[in-house]
């Protein structure tokens, strides 16, 4: 999977958009941040480091450690809160369908909650 294919997959989620907030910093200029248009919260950070493509994904704390034990390609979130974020190395032992499930789960954690109508 290429970087653009990963970005395109994230863009299939409702109200998702691609952002480059670190462009001013040469070190992180290639990092794509996938956000939700309504609340601007991030659900994926896509970048290359040491010749490998990776994505940081938000994760339920109860699931994050399980995923790290189940897959060698899932690590504690690089430059993120290690309790709530995982780094997935693309092309590792994480199958694409599992990667897409984790992307969806990350998105679901940050998307705006439906407001209840008060009557």
- Is residue 47, in this structure, part of any structural domain at all? yes
pLDDT in tens, 51-92: 999 999 999 999 999 999 999 999 998 888 888 999 999 999
Cα 67 from Cα 86, distance rounded (Å):
9
Total of domains in the chain: 1
pLDDT in tens, 7-34: 999 999 999 999 998 765 555 567 899 9
Q: What is the CATH number of the domain that holds 96?
A: 3.90.1150.30
- Is residue 55, in this structure, part of any structural domain at all? yes
Residue 13, beta-bridge partner list: none
pLDDT score of 22 = 79
- Is residue 115, in this structure, part of any structural domain at all? no
pTM, to two decimals: 0.87
Question: Which residues span the domain enclosing 93?
Answer: 3-110
Sheet holding 85-89, edge to edge: 16-19, 32-36, 42-49, 52-58, 85-89, 74-76
């Amino acid at each position: 999977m290429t970087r653009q294919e990963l970005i395109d997959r994230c863009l299939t989620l409702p109200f998702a958009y691609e952002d480059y907030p670190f462009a001013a910093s040469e070190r992180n200029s290639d990092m794509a941040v996938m956000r939700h248009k309504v609340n601007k919260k991030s659900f994926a950070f896509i970048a290359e480091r040491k010749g490998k493509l990776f994505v940081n994904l938000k994760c339920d704390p109860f699931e994050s450690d399980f995923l790290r034990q189940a897959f060698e390609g899932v690590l504690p979130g690089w430059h993120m809160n290690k309790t709530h974020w995982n780094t997935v190395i693309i092309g590792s032992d994480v199958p694409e369908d599992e990667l897409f499930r984790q992307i969806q789960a990350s998105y679901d954690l940050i998307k705006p909650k439906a407001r209840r109508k008060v009557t």
